[in-house]
Amino acid sequence: MEATRVSQPPPEVVVAGHICLDIIPTFERPVTLEPGKLFKIGPAVVATGGVVSNTGIALHRLGVRTRLMGKVGDDLMGRAILELVRPIDPDGMIVAPGATSSYTVVISPPGVDRTFLHCTGANDTFMADDIDYDRLAGARLFHFGYPTLMRSIYSDGGRLMETIFRRVKERGVMTSLDMSFPDPQSEAGRVDWPAWLRRVLPHVDVYLPSLDETQFMLGQKPANELARQLHDWGAGIVGLKLGVEGLFCLWKGREYHASCFEVNVVGTTGSGDCTIAGFLAGLLRGLPPEQVMTAAVAVGACCCEAADATSGLRSWDEVQRRIQAGWKRRQT
């Protein structure tokens, strides 16, 4: 007798774009790296990183049906990435023969801001046709992240990113975009980002970069001015991650700010991606802006309670109970 295949429900969200393997050494004390010296460190945390993993796994933990779309090589690191994301989506990754998988060494000693040593790898060759648009069937939202670390996406003035979002919106799916800080000395750091954004943002319903990234691209202006400029260029909802200062949002002409929740910070890797996951999860639940913002900074705070991006995450209900129990907010 032939086995009956159980059909899977359609996803609510598809998360696509940059994916890598994060290698995060643990430090017993602050260090200043100097040539020719050896520093004793602890075990390394090895986890997937990048928006596909961080935001995708966070959404999954929050109870949102999620599919993943990324690109890896057929090397050891690629196999590790596939193994780690398989429980979320076993079919989402493209394996490019002969390509190097992306990885990041995260230097995050206590009391010192993070430093990233990053190899973009297979992400540089990601193209519009690498999106399986048929897998968007039934999805409500398509989230793409880190074009600043994907050469094919950032190097053509935004035409490839525009094509991806056009194809997604033709299927009636809402779009969301996140960025990362480009290396100022790299090719990505020299891109005409204002022109790139003017081309892409008319096809973006929710734009959620950080303030630092946006100031690098558009100049040292305050968050509210930058948000209005991005909205004028076509973005619908604009949210700017402010680090320890929380989250700013321009939503239907109104400005909102959410301060961070207090936690014992173990690491901040992936906190911005998880903040976005909380935002998107609240948005999909139809919550009002204030509650969406609160959910965003709450999920971001949970992320900071672990060294990697996802170990500290909780379910949606657990996060809400923690908020309702009087979780203290950071004073700004």
* DSSP one-letter string for 203-233: G-SEE--BHHHHHHHH-S--HHHHHHHHHHT
pLDDT at residue 195 tops 80: yes
Beta-bridge mates of residue 14:
67, 142
Cα angle for residues 99, 104, 109 (degrees, 5° grid): 165
Q: How confident is the model at residue 82 (pLDDT cuts 50, 70, 90)?
A: very high
The mean pLDDT value for 55-83 works out to 95
What is residue 7's predicted lDDT score, i.e. its pLDDT?
A: 56
The mean pLDDT value for 210-216 works out to 97
Amino acid at 268: T
The mean pLDDT value for 154-171 works out to 97
The mean pLDDT value for 47-54 works out to 92
DSSP string over 62-130: TT--EEEEEEEESSHHHHHHHHHHTTT-TT-EEEETTPPPPEEEEE--TTS--EEEEE-GGGGG--GGG
- Rounded to the nearest angstrom, the gap between the alpha carbon of residue 73 and the centroid of all alpha carbons in its chain is 21
pLDDT at residue 4 tops 60: no
Residue 55 makes CB contacts below 8 A (sequence gap 6+) with 15, 143, 145, 178, 273, 274, 276, 277, 280
pTM for this predicted structure? 0.91
pLDDT at residue 265 tops 90: no
Query: Are 73 and 101 spatial neighbours (Cβ–Cβ below 8 Å)?
Result: yes
Q: How confident is the model at residue 332 (pLDDT cuts 50, 70, 90)?
A: low
Of 53-67, 158-172, 301-315, where does mean pLDDT reach its minimum?
301-315
Neighbours of 33 (CB within 10 A): 9
Domains parsed from the chain with CATH numbers: 51-70+127-324 (3.40.1190.20)
pLDDT at residue 52 tops 60: yes
Q: How confident is the model at residue 5 (pLDDT cuts 50, 70, 90)?
A: very low
Q: How confident is the model at residue 217 (pLDDT cuts 50, 70, 90)?
A: very high
